[in-house]
Structure 1
Amino acid sequence: MLSMVSAKIRIYEQFAELARVLGHAHRLELIEHVAQGERSVERLAQLTGLSFANASQHLQQLRRGGFVEARRDGKRVLYRLADGPILSLIAALRCYAERNRAEVGKIVEDYFDRLDQLEPVSREELVDRLQDGTAVVLDVRPEDEFALGHVPGALNIPLDELERRLTELPTDQEIVAYCRGAYCVLSFEAVAALRLKGFRVRRLEEGFPEWKAAGLLVEARG
């Protein structure tokens, strides 16, 4: 039978192993992409700029740590985010880093805050505004991510198509833009570009995965 001390150490060893699995920038980025919906290794490698072999190796590490799950679809292996408070764990890490790591705070200030200094729209506020029709929701992720799941009623205009599709956006309502998560540059750049064009626009706090994890309604294309 384990003693109280040895039981505690065994638990801490497991904590340390989970931290080790998360302790790689590519794995954190892969979690962000897998959180959008089920994706193939090929697509995840493309999105992250990794080789197929490298992406597969990182995903296997995440699977062994219980952060993602995999299934085979013919010759392809598809990955999805595992159950559990994974995004809450990442959010806690982000909040700690922004508060206690000077380099993180400087990057946020120099890049993200420069693009968008207005307070973002909270999930609760957006729910209310969707109900009373006082906001138009803009999803600036790629079309394949939008198809996997999106905020109900959202208009999908990927960032690289925004300039030529401005006429699809309303000029008499505030636009709420969102993308993959708190550090996804797509929504920051979309908001900055639209404000230069005279649109009233703010970002959604965090992104689609956090919206979904909060148990809010989601639409998907069949």
Structure 2
Amino acid sequence: MKKRELKNLLYEQVARIGKAVSSPKRLELMELLAQGEKTVETLTSELSIDIKLASAHLKALRDARLVESRRDGKYVVYRLSGDDVAHLWVTLRLVAEEHLVELQLALQRMVASPDTLAQVGRADLLEQARRGEVIVIDVRPQDEYDAAHIPFARSMPLAEIERRLKGLPKTRDIVAYCRGPFCMLSDEALKLLSGKGYRVTKMLDGVAEWQAAGMPVERSPGV
């Protein structure tokens, strides 16, 4: 094989990844699967698209070896093919945030009040949570928490917060997190808890961002 042909082949192979992640819905699929494996039906519901379209997007990701699937009874379950794929999503988002003013403005609209953001670094937050000085709550669904979560975080899915308020003392600061900067579950938790008189902020990190920064995560027993 000639050198030019070889170089063309090399770049073509890398371009397969670029083509696979060139769809907004596929990026959202990557973000969701970074939380843990999910069935096609769950992904379809989360993305508000039909199964046929979801399957087509998943096929494109699978053809690029970014996701894998397994059968569980009558369901097909998808997962990322490695932690590096979750890191790829985080890296793409960070580059976009750095260079695209439109994305920066959109994110600013999501965080209308900067004082609702936790002002502590990752290592300090982890140490404060370890000492019990702050309560970190994971407001994602339970299965995502089980797959991986920030150490010392409590699982408190958004749908269950209101009936579990007795377990949250008002004497300590609370930090909520969900799937990352584009996730709005923590915003809803923030609104609910602050309305009940809790001192609560949110952090933009999800588990994928936390891991990409080299921070440790924990998994529930049996996962």
TM-score, with length taken from structure 1: 0.85
Residue 96 (structure 2) aligns with: 97
Runs of 4 or more off by more than 6 Å in structure 1? Answer: none
Cα distance, 1:184 vs structure 2: 0.8
- Give identity over the alignment, percent: 40
Structure 2 residue 136 is the aligned partner of structure 1 residue 141: no
Distance 1:59-1:107 versus aligned 2 partners, 3 A rule: same
Residue 53 (structure 1) aligns with: 52
Cα distance, 1:18 vs structure 2: 1.1
State the distance in 1 between where 2:119 and 2:89 align.
Answer: 19
Question: In 2, are the aligned partners of 1:137 and 1:175 still within 8 Å (CA)?
Answer: yes
Distance 1:184-1:122 versus aligned 2 partners, 3 A rule: farther
Q: How many residues align?
A: 220
CA RMSD of aligned residues (A): 2.4
More displaced stretch, 96-105 vs 161-170: 161-170
Distance 1:133-1:2 versus aligned 2 partners, 3 A rule: farther
Taking the TM superposition and a 5 Å limit, the aligned residue runs for 1:143-162 are: 143-162=142-161
State the distance in 1 between where 2:195 and 2:37 align.
Answer: 35
State the distance in 1 between where 2:26 and 2:113 align.
Answer: 26
Structure 2 residue 208 is the aligned partner of structure 1 residue 209: yes
Among 113, 124, 149, which residue is 2:111 paired with?
113
Question: In 2, are the aligned partners of 1:115 and 1:189 still within 8 Å (CA)?
Answer: no
Distance 1:74-1:162 versus aligned 2 partners, 3 A rule: closer
For structure 1, the 5+ residue unaligned runs are none
Taking the TM superposition and a 5 Å limit, the aligned residue runs for 1:1-222 are: 1-3=1-3, 5-110=4-109, 112-117=110-115, 118-212=117-211, 214=214, 216-220=216-220, 222=222
SS at match of 2:169: coil
Cα distance, 1:28 vs structure 2: 0.9
Distance 1:148-1:95 versus aligned 2 partners, 3 A rule: closer
For structure 2, the 5+ residue unaligned runs are none
One-letter amino acid of the counterpart of residue 216, structure 1: P
TM-score, with length taken from structure 2: 0.85
